[in-house]
Amino acid sequence: MNTPFKLNMLLIITVFLVAVAVTACGAAQPTVQIAPTQQTDDFVMALALSTLDNPFFVSMQKGAEEAANRTHTRLLVVDAKDDAGRQAKQIQQLIEQSVDALLVNPVDGEAIVESIKAANSANIPVITLDRSANGGKIVTHIASDNVAGGEMAADYLAEILGKRGKVVELEGSAGTSAAADRGAGFNQAMLKYPNIEIVARQSANFNRSDGRTVFAQILKENPEIDGVFAHNDDMVLGAIDAAKQERRMDDIKFVGFDAIDLAVSALEKGDLEATIAQQPAEMGRLGVEMAAKYLHGESLPDYIPVDLALLTQ
């Protein structure tokens, strides 16, 4: 035989022997690649926020998302853009999706009641964050002690004014528990200082633009203002903008609430005297973690406080 013929015969014999071996041992099974098991979500929760235009609530969202990642929770986030009607529609859609738990930061404490009752009827547990609701069944409320925060602001402002002078209070959105409680604490504490007069109280809706506009008008109407307390930092930053525009910064001491990043920067620059530090990310984290505990059968207290701190220059 020539060499090519020998090679061909060897190839045929090899194939034959392999076929015999396979037949003797049974049909060969193909190799199957098994995909790793995907980790399923333990729960689906919803976070209904009043507005993501405010850095405070952006931090709350981030805290909730971080906790959701750790607890195998799928988190649905909706932004009401400070519209109570919009928030009601969003929550109804979430109820129809049968979420396991609802975390709510209400636009309005009274307007949210019907939405909470609807969630109650669907057996969806509800937790409120930062702002409370005026009705419906709530598993727990997670927030800072806003009354105590208002008192802290009043006492510090009185101290830096030498316990005398004329003061403006920029109020938050009407119908929110945060505005009501911070205002109550501030005004109760101010009763201790008879030589301090509150010359103006007006809502600026927790909004920087409104804070600028409202305070600009107050400046025109009041040639003497010694101090300002705003129910949140966005409003106090707007008031500072207006004071700079009118060249009145040197005359006025400003105190805010929330300790957002821009307010901390204003403290460092000397524009802001103090702000009450909340922990919105902590509220978001606790909201998700407490909801998970409740869904696992644990009982929760009616109120879970989050610590406050006074930040000064």
What tens digit of pLDDT does each residue of 176-185 get? 999 999 999 9
- Tens digits of per-residue pLDDT, 216-256? 999 999 999 999 999 999 999 999 999 999 999 999 999 99
Q: Cα–Cα distance between 149 and 278 in angstroms, integer?
A: 9
For the domain bounded by 146-277, which CATH number is listed? 3.40.50.2300
pLDDT at 28: 39
Q: Cα–Cα distance between 112 and 133 in angstroms, integer?
A: 7
User: Burial code of 102-129, b = ≥16 C-beta within 10 A, e = fewer?
Assistant: bbbbbbbbebbeebbebbeeeebbbbbb
Pair of tokens at residue 158 = 């009185």
Same fold, 43-144+281-307 and 146-277: yes
pLDDT at 265: 97
- Tens digits of per-residue pLDDT, 138-170? 999 999 999 999 999 999 999 999 999 999 999
CB-CB contact of 119 with 65 (8 Å): no
Who's near 105: CB < 8 A, 6+ residues apart?
47, 48, 49, 50, 57, 60, 128, 129, 130, 131
pLDDT at 5: 35
Of all residues in the chain, the percent with pLDDT exceeding 90 is 86
pLDDT at 35: 34
pTM above 0.75, yes or no: yes
Kindly tell me if the per-residue pLDDT of 40 is higher than 60.
Answer: no
Who's near 260: CB < 8 A, 6+ residues apart?
55, 56, 59, 233, 234
Q: What fold is seen in the domain 43-144+281-307?
A: Rossmann fold (3.40.50)
Q: Where are the domains of the chain?
A: 43-144+281-307, 146-277
- Tens digits of per-residue pLDDT, 124-135? 999 999 999 999
Burial of 148 (0-12, 13-18, 19+ CB in 10 A): middle
Of all residues in the chain, the percent with pLDDT exceeding 70 is 87
Mean pLDDT of 4-27: 38
- Tens digits of per-residue pLDDT, 266-290? 999 999 999 999 999 999 999 999 9
Kindly tell me if the per-residue pLDDT of 212 is higher than 70.
Answer: yes
Chain length of the chain: 313
